[in-house]
Structure 1
Amino acid sequence: DSLESLEHVDKGLLEKYSPAEQQTITRAVKDLRTIIAVKQVIQTQYHEVLKRAFPNGDLDDLSLVRQEQAYTAVMYYDPTLKPLKVETMAQWQENPPRVFSTQEHQLGLAYLSGQLSLDQLENHHLQRVLKHDGTKQLFLGECKVDPTIKNSQIEKIQKQLKEQQAKDDQYRKSQLAHYQPLNYKPVSPNYYLKTAFSDAIMTVLYARDEDYQRQRQAQGLKETEWEMAKKQRQHQTRNRHEDGGMHL
């Protein structure tokens, strides 16, 4: 990690530092560039997927974290990347679809506990889901609502995953000075979908969807009417109280 190996950096600025310090700075700059490059690749991936699922969205208005949440849900529930209708999203939130069968739940859990290898799973979507931390948590959340699976079985796997994650994070931190662990916490599909597709995010994802905008306007109108009716009732009640005294 010598100064010469750094491109697009004013090396004159760094020459006043000792060789050891120069080495540390060089490594840090390289690490940072790696992280930025990886982030750009990830962002492009999120964009491509979300653009297909939400063709009328203003994706640039979403932070990377929000894009990631939506991306994870899409990759789990809509792997063929069909454009998602507003109604579909509402249904998902009310009643998260079950993606895998009980047998697939058991196979997935067997893989996560180290009893099977990934290529022993026939369902390719299940393979993809179990490769990524975010979708893996949605899978475990779905397993939790499967009445045939004991909670203790899932909790044991979650504990193993957490321990493995801690080891991985430790290793990455030792390799990358600026590494920040992105730990996915256990989550229920219901909660995840309501968070990932909150009203504010839906407004962005359906920014140019005329049906959605009409629905929003109708909803806004209804809420305004309700507010006005409420104020009117309060006003009438207040007037009755004021007029209700005994006049001698």
Structure 2
Amino acid sequence: MQAIGLIETKGLITAIEAADIMLKSSDVSIVEKTYVGGGLVIVIVTGDVGSVKAAIEAGSAAVKRINPEYLISDHIMPRPSEELKTIIGPKVTVEVLKVSPCNEDVIEVESIQKEEVQSTKVAESEVKYREVQAIASQLEYIEVQSEKEVLKVEDVEPVKGLAGTKQQVKEMDLDKLHKSNIDKLVSEDGIQKAVLTLDKLKVVKLRNLAREYEDFVITGRTISKADKKILISKFKAYYEKNSKI
């Protein structure tokens, strides 16, 4: 590592004046400029020993011409350690800045890809919407009240008509289901269909419904503590048992 010289001044103007004179008077180059705080600035130059010595002398004289009190200190290091490069001189951040344009390109490509994905999803949604519209046009009109739940597509049953096969949707007020409704559903459509309907109920409704059965599989506090999965399994067991009698 070549010799280095340091000038510490008060104020940025005097530091710039010193740096200008040092560069003009000797074959040196500036390593860095550091703001110490409290208005103090340090300028570091490097070169051979003779050039650095002449530069520091010229720079110090330039500062004194402005105001002798603005020259805080100067120093020359003829043979600095190579390890000083880790604390003075250009930092690695310069190389990082060179990579930034590539990162911008990546971000731009990613944004384009996101736009393409979003446009693809919109197109798929439009296709699905048209398919639903085509199916809905074949269904009989049913007025559904605000608190009623229409059963899913699995519950759609074919109805033969003059113009071909139409679809009839069953509707059921799930909040007003009672044991008699479930009994009827089991007798007409089977246990499996009844289980699918029970699965649409909330656990509170299932517990209240279970209490309507005199000889249900579980009773009392057991019903109050049972979750939805257990209750549905007990309903299934109840009807399977009674269907064999």
TM-score normalized by the length of structure 2:
0.27
Q: Which has the higher contact order (CA 8 A, sep 6+)?
A: 1
Q: Give the greater-gyration-radius structure (CA).
A: 2
TM-score normalized by the length of structure 1:
0.26
